A and B are shown apart, each in its own frame.
Chain A
Amino acid sequence: MMQVIGHEWAVHSLESSAQREQLRNAYLFCGVHGIGKRTLARQFAQRLLCQQPNAPCGTCRTCKLVGLGRHPDVLWVEPIVSGNLIKSAKIGIEAIRELNYQLSLRPVETTRRIAVLSQFETANDAAANALLKTLEEPPGNALFLLTASDELALLPTILSRCERLNLRPLPIRTVQSALEEHWQAPADQAQLLAHLSAGRLGWAVQMMQNPEALQVRQQALDDLSQQLSNSLALRFVYAEKLSKDRELLTVTLDHWRTWWRDVLLLVSGQGERVVNIDRLSGFKSLQQRVTAQQAAQALEEIETALQQLERNANARLVLENLLLEWPRLLVAG
């Protein structure tokens, strides 16, 4: 059996088509970042290549190598990060041409070759078009597994050649118990991460294994409380400082977004769905002083700011503009 936490129906559908040996040429796993698309792809590759009776056994040489991403018959194509000022990850046409050639050769150790194309929404049109023919008529019995966070960003010609499996967020409870069971997280940390993850187990695990990321979040939320009580002059000093690191700025805005979302939920009486559960006292102190409209507006402004940053707007101006609009509030805790 495939060892995937959650996504039962997707696992079931893949398993049954593997058993009936009625596989498609290509599968597309869609879902937000960190939800388990690559985990599912890896497990499915193990399921197809493992020769043991209850494939994937997870212990044979094939399973191990596939798990490590080092099996000669499983070809991974990942976006390559490039650029100095603005980093962007892209799958280029060269990578696809190389893949096309590799797939034209017979498998090395097993009976089929599997190509995993991760984050295929980052492929430009030329790369996607170069894949079309092989995707439609794979040489031998090669199989494609594509992952994408946004299927709308893919060419319709790619979509129509794949069977789509949309992965949905896991229940918070599932994430929490998985973190405790499989990654030995302490209960309180597991609870917080599960809430923050919005059902993205992979994201939660990444955060857990990277204490620095959690620290960045703490800092971001502390800064948020601070800036809300600060004068405009001090806010601008802060804006100048933070805007120097574009990457950190984007991450910070992301955390702010969850915070404002919580505020909005709280003032509209949906307190039980709050995700930043370690900041409850701060939210409570705000409850009477912020209106739903204010929170919604702040949320919208962050969205706009993030969009502007993506379009390479001046980071400092974007942040100043955002902080300019915020009300002045005192946040407890």
Chain B
Amino acid sequence: MKVSCLQENLAKALGIVGKAVGARTTLPILANILVSTENNQLRLTATDLNLAISCWIGAKVEQEGAVAMPARTFIDLVNALPQGTVSLELNVRTQAVNIRCGSYNNDLKSLDAQEFPIVPTTEGQDGIEMPVELLRSLISHTVFAAATNDARPILTGVEARIRDGQITFSAADGYRLATQTGHLGAPINHVPAIIPARALHEVARVSHDPNTTAMMVLSANRSQAMFRIGNVELVSQLIEGNFPEVGQLIPKSHQTRTIVSTSELANACKAARIFARESAGTTRLKIVPGNGATPGQVMVSAVSQETGSNETTVDANVEGVPVEIAFNVQFLLDMLSAIETPNMVIETNAASTPGLFKPAGKDDFLCVVMPMNLNR
């Protein structure tokens, strides 16, 4: 292999793929980055077997080839090089890669590329195209609700459903549920897939350019989800199993419907969080309908034995019966960060039944949160 490229491009690409370098010691090859030539481009790939990230950069290929280079050393080295052209040349006999840049001359011991796990690409596969903005909102509006502990692996994933040109991402961790829907250009159908939340975090991280199109491919053998954004590709293993039926978890009716300013409620929750730290985040919402003269109100309060107590009143438009209900304030703040409209809707039944939250005038997003015990 003999190839040259720009240091800036190489460093940037390594910064992206470096996030997928495996930390597990069982497979030493995973601590390496696969460097290979492909159609006059340089491909960099790293994987921890759950998530693989590939990045293509422009390069001058003089001789095709591939090699696995120790990730930490390679990244540190490239970052230490001056700007300019970097040339990489593999000595097949010694398995050492000679890295030259200006007056810098380095030899880096490397491993046989054959041992590196095969990472599929989206090339030649049928994909679902969508604006990066849509993909970003699908991810950022759901991923927070995915479970973080491995006790039930299925809940650490986000379910992607594609039906009649509608794409829905849903996540749930047993205490809350968030779903976000978007419209695709074409009437596509697909079997549901469960994508690990960690992989989606990385997808969101690389989808920063709003003017590009993202492509999502769910592989034919239902093993992987692949995302192509610009010159970066992320491949995530899918989680095996059946996701809980989301439709059944959404309350169908309500006794109280409250419309409130999103930002005012968010500020009230932030204030309550300070006092709710010692009580596992318990924050009460006391919802009182208005009576002609006074408007309806939502009183957000938190009490702490040590710190003190707080109550913030937010004006609201309340229909139905008064109710007092408690939620984990962190769950409320996570949900509020996903609502982009100025006003939002809260639908509740009783203190012991889940609350439903959604933006006012839009029904592409909704979040269901389990209540906490009021007597704590």
Task: Give the A interface residue count (CB, 8 A).
Answer: 22
Stretch at the interface among A40-48, A97-105, A192-200, A231-239: A97-105
**Contact flag A70-B240 (CB < 8 Å), given A101-B150, A106-B222, A109-B117:** no
Taken together as a complex, chains A and B put the C-alpha atoms of A111 and B238 apart, in Å, by 13
Taken together as a complex, chains A and B put the C-alpha atoms of A252 and B151 apart, in Å, by 45
Taken together as a complex, chains A and B put the C-alpha atoms of A102 and B237 apart, in Å, by 10
Check B115 against A105 for contact (C-beta < 8 Å).
Answer: no
Q: Please pick, from B29, B114, B196, the residue contacting A105 in the complex, using a CB distance under 8 A.
A: B196
| Interface flag for B241 (CB, 8 Å) | yes
Residues of A within 8 A of B29 (CB): 70
Q: How far is the CB of A107 from chain B (nearest CB, A)?
A: 6
Check A72 against B117 for contact (C-beta < 8 Å).
Answer: yes
A100-141: which have CB < 8 Å to B?
A: 100-109, 111, 139-140
Residues of A within 8 A of B28 (CB): 70
Q: Please pick, from B27, B221, B239, the residue contacting A70 in the complex, using a CB distance under 8 A.
A: B27
**Contact flag A61-B114 (CB < 8 Å), given A72-B27, A101-B150, A106-B222:** yes
- The DSSP consensus for interface residues of chain B is loop
Residues of B within 8 A of A100 (CB): 150, 153
A170-211: which have CB < 8 Å to B?
A: none
**Contact flag A109-B118 (CB < 8 Å), given A70-B29, A72-B49, A104-B153:** yes
Taken together as a complex, chains A and B put the C-alpha atoms of A108 and B241 apart, in Å, by 16
Q: Please pick, from B117, B118, B154, B237, the residue contacting A106 in the complex, using a CB distance under 8 A.
A: B237
Taken together as a complex, chains A and B put the C-alpha atoms of A101 and B48 apart, in Å, by 13
| Interface flag for B309 (CB, 8 Å) | no
Q: How far is the CB of A82 from chain B (nearest CB, A)?
A: 15
Taken together as a complex, chains A and B put the C-alpha atoms of A324 and B29 apart, in Å, by 54
Check A101 against B153 for contact (C-beta < 8 Å).
Answer: yes
Taken together as a complex, chains A and B put the C-alpha atoms of A216 and B150 apart, in Å, by 46
Check A105 against B237 for contact (C-beta < 8 Å).
Answer: yes
**Contact flag A106-B238 (CB < 8 Å), given A100-B150, A100-B153, A101-B150:** yes
Check B117 against A104 for contact (C-beta < 8 Å).
Answer: no
B314-347: which have CB < 8 Å to A?
A: none
CB-based closest 3 A-B pairs: A104-B153, A139-B240, A106-B223
15 A/B residue pairs, CB under 8 Å, sorted by A: A70-B115, A72-B49, A101-B150, A101-B156, A102-B49, A104-B239, A104-B241, A105-B153, A105-B196, A105-B238, A105-B240, A106-B239, A107-B237, A108-B118, A139-B153
